[in-house]
Amino acid sequence: MQLIDGKLVSAQVKQEIAAEVADLIAKGGKKPHLAAILVGHDGGSEAYVAGKVKDCEDCGFTSTLIRFDDDVTEEALLAEVEKLNNNKDVDGFIVQLPLPKHISEQKVTEAIDYRKDVDGFHPVNVGRVSLGLPAFVSATPDGILELIKRYKIETAGKHVVVIGRSNIVGKPVANLLMQKAYPGNATVTVVHSYSTDIKEQCLSADIIICALGRPGFLKADMVKDGVVVIDVGTTRVPSTETKSGFRLKGDVDFDNVAPKCSFITPVPGGVGLMTRVSLMKNTLLAGKKEIYK
C-alpha cells in the first residue's frame, strides 16, 4: 500500500508555480492577481479564504480580499462582481460559498466573467470541461487528477466508481475521467443516494473516488484487493485532541480499507491540500491568459 501524499505533492506544485511566476516577472510580466469576495463571518469560509491568501503569498501572487456583511444585498454583491469583471488588474476571482440564503449562488456564479472564473463553476467552464475543451477545471477534480498523474496511476480501461454526484466534485471528476486523455479513458460509474448496488459497483472498481460527505462510509468489505482509493470527504467531527475542538474525517474507513489498497489518500493530507493548490494553478493560467485571451 502506498500513501498518496497530498502535502508533498501540493508543496511541489506550489514551488513550480512560484518558479514560473519568478520567471514571468524576470521577463517583465506582472504577478498573477487573485481576488476573493467573502460574505459574512462563517468560520469555515474564513479559514478557507485565509488559506487562499496565504497560498497566494507562497506562489508570489497578488491577492485582494473583499468583505461584505451577511446582510449585503444581492444587487450590491452583483455590482462588486461586475467591478471585478471589468478590473483589468484582476486576473481571476472567486466568491466564497456558501452565500446567505437571500442571495442566489447560481445568479452570482453566472455573473462572473467565465474568463476570470478560476473556481471553474461558471456554466461555460463546466460545459467546456465536459466537451474536453481548454477551460478552468474546478479545483477538487483538478487536484484529484494531479495526484493521479504525479503517482502515474493508470486510468485507461479501468473501472472508476465515483460515489457522489455533486456539481463541484462527482459530476466533473466523472466527466474528466472519461475524456480521451490521460488521466481519462476510464469506464466511469457514478453512484449516489438512490443507487441500489453501491457495494457491488465498488467491489468491481479499480479506482474509487469517494465524495459523498459521510464519514467512514467506504468499508473494507466494499473494496477489492489492489484498489486505488481517493477520499474527498472532509467532515468536521468533534475531537478532544485538537485545539479547535474538531478534526477532519474522510469518507473512507481508512484503517481497515488501507491494507487492501495499492494507493490511498489520507484525510487530512490528501485531496484537500491539492484543492487549494489547483486554485493557484488556475490563477496562474488566468494571469498568463493561457486559456482565454
3-state secondary structure of 267: coil
Dist CA 69 CA 140 (whole Å): 27
119 belongs to the binding site for ligand GUN (CB under 6 A) = yes
The footprint of ligand GUN on residues 139-168 (CB under 6 A) is: 139
The footprint of ligand GUN on residues 15-34 (CB under 6 A) is: none
Which of 94, 108, 144, 202 binds ligand GUN (CB under 6 A)? It is: 94
Q: Are 96 and 36 in contact (CB under 8 A)?
A: yes
Name the active-site residue from 96, 142, 231, 251: 96
Number of chain positions touching ligand GUN (CB under 6 A): 7
C-alpha to C-alpha distances, 248 to 215, 216, 233, 242, nearest whole angstrom: 9, 11, 8, 11
Which of 4, 59, 60, 96 binds ligand GUN (CB under 6 A)? It is: 96
282 belongs to the binding site for ligand GUN (CB under 6 A) = no
C-alpha to C-alpha distances, 215 to 29, 72, 165, 210, 237, nearest whole angstrom: 45, 34, 17, 10, 9
Nearer to ligand GUN, 48 or 61 (CB): 48
Dist CA 177 CA 14 (whole Å): 24
In 134-206, the DSSP E strands lie at 159-163, 187-191
Name the active-site residue from 52, 116, 171, 249: 52
Active site residue 197: no
Pick from 291, 4, 288: nearest CA to 143? 4
68 belongs to the binding site for ligand GUN (CB under 6 A) = no
Nearer to ligand GUN, 126 or 186 (CB): 126
Which range binds ligand GUN by CB under 6 A, 4-12, 91-99, 191-199, 284-292? 91-99
Distance of CA 75 to the CA centre of its chain: 28
Q: Tell the smallest beta-carbon distance from residue 139 to ligand GUN (Å).
A: 5
Contacts of 104 by beta carbon, 8 Å cutoff, 6+ apart: 74
Dist CA 88 CA 277 (whole Å): 24
Name the active-site residue from 55, 119, 142, 231: 119
Residue 206 half-sphere exposure toward CB, CA atoms < 13 A: 13
Nearer to ligand GUN, 95 or 223 (CB): 95
99 belongs to the binding site for ligand GUN (CB under 6 A) = no
3-state secondary structure of 205: coil
Q: Tell the smallest beta-carbon distance from residue 216 to ligand GUN (Å).
A: 22
Active site residue 119: yes
Which range binds ligand GUN by CB under 6 A, 94-102, 181-189, 223-231, 232-240? 94-102
Q: What is the chain's length?
A: 293
48 belongs to the binding site for ligand GUN (CB under 6 A) = yes
Bridge partners for 187 per DSSP: 159
Which of 97, 178, 203, 248 binds ligand GUN (CB under 6 A)? It is: 97
Nearer to ligand GUN, 123 or 226 (CB): 123
* Number of DSSP helices (H) and strands (E) in the chain, helices first: 10, 11
Hey, which residues are catalytic here?
52, 96, 119
- Give the interface with ligand GUN as residue ranges (CB under 6 A): 48, 94-97, 119, 139
